Amino acid sequence: MGTTSLHAVRSWLWFVFGTIVTMTLIGGTTRLTGSGLSMVEWHPLMGALPPIGAAAWDEVFALYKTSPQYEQVNSWMTLADFKLIFFWEYLHRLFGRVIGLVVLGPWLVFLVRRKLRGMLAVKTLLLMVLGGLQGLLGWYMVKSGLVDRPEVSHFRLAAHLLLAFTVAQYTAWLALGLQAAPARVQRASRATRAIALALTPLLVLQIIYGAFVAGTRAGLFSATFPDVNGMYLPGAFVGAEGALQSLLHGVPLIHWTHRFLGWLVFFGLLGLGWRLRAESLPWLRRPAALLVGLVSLQFLLGALTVVFGVPTGIAVAHQGVALLLLTCLTWVLHRCFFGGPAAAGPTR
């Protein structure tokens, strides 16, 4: 593959990554404004246009009135109120379609012009498949809030968020693999690589518990920091159902666990940043500095989210920075194992 083609595909992948970040922010806003259940039907192909005219709006509002959310929570809403929450869910779904277009359209062009060949064509095809699965999983999540309870399953929410983050990391990894390869790969030390690998599942677990907190509204359980309602140890937050059930379903212990994992991630990534700087490899300096900056910002946003009662702006920023932090760790892993950029040729 020529240098020009390589640059074009890499730029497209980073553009796709940017759309995923934007989608994550829109999704977080949709959830926090209680808008996710406002559209009770799913039309993947024919649902791109919003209701047009009074009759269409009355029909959509009438459908919403049959949902558990309206019957149990929002029965006070007028059509004007409904339009506000409908906007965010409609935007969320519309932007998902846009992502599909910016993935499929250029991919087909690259194939026709033979800019994508061999395994790279297969890998980018997998990217599109994952994007389609994300849309299906999103509707599967929404359906859980349209039956009896006016809230989605926090397990399905976590799966939806985790798949979005996974697609973003896969996209970033592909883009990083198209950078110029060094003539001689000089890896980070074995200890540094092991620490980076070990911290990755810890950060993923923290992200999963962030989704649990969002899905159960556990962020509102405590507005004190660093303590949790005056306590630090988890024993007080284990319910009568036992530790395991409390970890999976209990609001108090879910809240405490997310806080506890946050401390582990914070100090763990700070330590990793220090080790990366100590490696004295020039291509690790920028990832190390960004990692330390992002984990510090994320920790601050988490504390502010709790103290101020989960305000939408701060909470959405907290979710967005979580995605950027995981991506930075992906960047660190790539640099640790494959070295930094050089003159020519893709890595992997």
Residue-wise pLDDT for 213-268, tens only, equals 999 999 999 999 999 999 999 989 998 899 999 999 999 999 999 999 999 999 99
Cα 140 off chain centre by = 17
pLDDT at 4: 67
pLDDT tens track for 274-313: 999 998 888 899 999 999 999 999 999 999 999 999 999 9
Establish whether the linkage from the previous residue to 226 is cis, with ω within 30° of 0: yes
**Which of 332, 343, 1, 6 lies closest to 182 in space, CA to CA?**
343
* pLDDT bucket at 48, cuts 50 / 70 / 90: low
What does the block give as tokens for 142? 């929404």
d(CA 5, CA 183): 21
Judged against a pLDDT cut of 90, whether residue 167 lies above it is answered with yes
d(CA 65, CA 221): 30
Q: List phi, psi (to 5°) of 281.
A: -105, 125
d(CA 143, CA 147): 7
What does the block give as tokens for 292? 């330390």
d(CA 312, CA 301): 12
pLDDT tens track for 26-41: 999 999 988 888 888 7
pLDDT at 44: 65
**CB burial string 116-151: b at 16+ within 10 A, e below:** beeebeeebeebeebbeebbebbeebbebbbeeebb
What does pLDDT average to over the chain?
A: 89
What does the block give as tokens for 319? 């979710």
**Mean pLDDT, rounded, for 157-171:** 95
Can you give the pTM of this predicted structure? 0.91
* pLDDT bucket at 46, cuts 50 / 70 / 90: low
Judged against a pLDDT cut of 60, whether residue 345 lies above it is answered with no
Q: List phi, psi (to 5°) of 186.
A: -115, 100
- Which CA distances in Å does 340 have to 175, 287, 346? 13, 11, 11
pLDDT at 261: 97
pLDDT tens track for 128-162: 899 888 888 888 888 877 777 778 889 999 999 99
What does the block give as tokens for 228? 């949790």
DSSP assignment of 169-189: HHHHHHHHHTSPPPSS--PPP
Judged against a pLDDT cut of 70, whether residue 1 lies above it is answered with no
